Structure 1
Amino acid sequence: MEIVIVSPESRRRDNLISMLESFVAPSTIKMVELCGDVEKLANPASPAIVFIDYRDPALVADKEISSLIMNHSIHYIVLLVSRNDPAVHFTHYSSCELIYDEISIDMLKNLLINVQLKSK
């Protein structure tokens, strides 16, 4: 299973990558800055879990997220939000939200285990 992180370059993104690399192969983690670039990297033979920086929903169009959901190369979407996000959120059964500042290694491990169990 591939992991794609959609986020501008930042310390938070680097921390997320470090946490993921502590228990998944670094070669399975890819980074892009725009949702549209995910489809170029996606491989139907190995559906991806996509982490999207959603702290500013105005910068990420829900239409782009919907397009990713319809793509058979995308298995699950994790929206990285902040505690002070607006009340309106993108929701779909194949997505979840995590508070970007509160992510831990154990939380990521459990999330990936649960996503893999859903795919079986």
Structure 2
Amino acid sequence: MSVSVAIVGRPNVGKSTLFNRLVGKKLALVDDTPGVTRDRREGEGRIGDLTFTLIDTAGYEDADDATLEGRMRQQTEAAIQEADVILMMIDARAGVTPMDEHFAKLLRKAGKKVTLLANKVEGRAA
């Protein structure tokens, strides 16, 4: 049985960078501009001897379904439903934002195992 792991969070917190690192190649676009990832992307993740299906998602934004951001949100919500485990990533420099709190409430309702990842903590400024 393969475990499915979704990486979720606001735009530009580092989800695609982590995805690429865990799959061992650059399958997902990485850019400083928020919103580059627009669809789910899947790959085989690996940590030591453990392998799993990894899902990279678009940044979660609360937007109308008819907009691009709304369709991106729907793709993220679908990944949450499909995943066995959720990795919720935040930008630690920004702290927990109102959007992070909103998203966390949605994840609690999904009833999945969630691990919080604090990213962007390297360097003296962090």
TM range (shorter): 0.3 to 0.5
Instruction: Please identify which structure carries the higher helix content.
Output: 1
